[in-house]
Amino acid sequence: MKLSSKLQDVSKRQRIIFICAGLLCLTPFISSPMALVLGFTLASLGWVPVDWNITALTKKLLSYSIIGLGFGINVTTAIEASTHNFGLIVGSIFFTLGLGFVLTRALKFDHVTGHLIASGTAICGGSAIAAVAPAINAKNDQTATALACVFVLNSVALFLFPAVGHLLNMSQYDFGVWSAIAIHDTSSVVGAASAYGDEALKIATTIKLARALWIIPIALVSAMVFGGDKRKINLPYFIGFYCLAIAIAHWLPQFNTVYDTLFMLSKRALVVCLFLIGAGITVQKMRASGPKPLLLGVMLWAAIGVTSLVYILYFQ
């Protein structure tokens, strides 16, 4: 009875600490990288409530936050950014998938896991992996390995990209384009771009979601190539609501004050998302994936990061 009571007390303290840390991330004192580190620290200390489905909570909050960002995006800017960078978006996707195929064979690595990592790198990280995995009948351990690899690199991107951007004195526009092309998950794209500036954030979000639309054709083609089931494809429906939010803000400009508030709240909610993502990363998970998946992920990430940066700086 005493043991049960002690466990309940520990669980209650975990929840209180976790909730307070999450609320702290809503304040301007916590940046995106700090939120990620805070979540990772709590996970490493075992202070994340074990009976809470953190993954499901993160997915929902991320979807709502991205929709909220749509109210702060100018429709003309969104269309121009997407159309102007259409070639870069499409080229980077097929370049990454093709290179992923070659490297997977060269490393003599499991082709299903390799394709999941390549898809996550080419399109939008965890969302792409979650969409493609059931379509190609990927096993749970293959999906988990790909997700772990992408999450680790996302964590690095939050610190690395803004530092490189400032080092190269990149413009807000150029950094927004680069982060949208070269960072995996939407949450990390938004986190890195937000740390760089509001203009970078708006450009990055728009281009990233234009890139994410390629989940549908890539998942369908993957299902055909791997002999999977096209009916099992999971699609990120929040992209449609994001576009609707942009349209509402354009058609009903008289509510600009409300839209500005929603945009700012969504930015802070995304910091909480990064805290939750950090809470799902542990040293054990990173070790379990082994060296080959991470090696493949780093090689693909370096390739798309460097080539897109050179293109943006010198050829665009």
For the stretch 182-198, pLDDT in tens is 998 888 898 899 889 98
Tell me the C-alpha distance between 160 and 164, whole Å: 6
Q: Exposed, middle or buried by CB within 10 Å (0-12, 13-18, 19+), for 13?
A: exposed
Helices and strands: H and E segment counts in the chain: 16, 0
Structure confidence at residue 7 (pLDDT): 46
pLDDT of residue 115: 92
| Cα separation, 168 vs 111, whole angstroms | 37
Q: Where are the domains of the chain?
A: 12-315
Query: For position 37, what pLDDT does the model report?
Result: 83
**pLDDT at 217 exceeding the cut of 50:** yes
| Res. 41: pLDDT tops 80 | yes
Quick one: average pLDDT of 274-279?
Answer: 82
Q: What is the mean pLDDT of the chain?
A: 83
Q: Which residue in 188, 208, 202 sits closest to 273, CA to CA?
A: 188
- Tell me how far apart the alpha carbons of residues 200 and 187 are, in angstroms, rounded to a whole number: 14
For the CA atoms of 79, 81, 82, 83, the dihedral, rounded to the nearest 10 degrees, stands at 80
- Give tens-digit pLDDT for 71-128: 887 778 778 877 888 899 999 999 999 999 999 999 888 899 999 999 989 988 877 8
Distance CA 114, CA 94 (A): 15
Whether the CB-CB separation of 300 and 121 falls below 8 Å is answered with yes
pLDDT classification of 234: cutoffs 50, 70, 90: low
25-34, 53-62, 275-284: the lowest-pLDDT one: 275-284
- Please give the pLDDT value at position 3: 45
**CA proximity to 225, closest of 296, 108, 119, 122:** 119
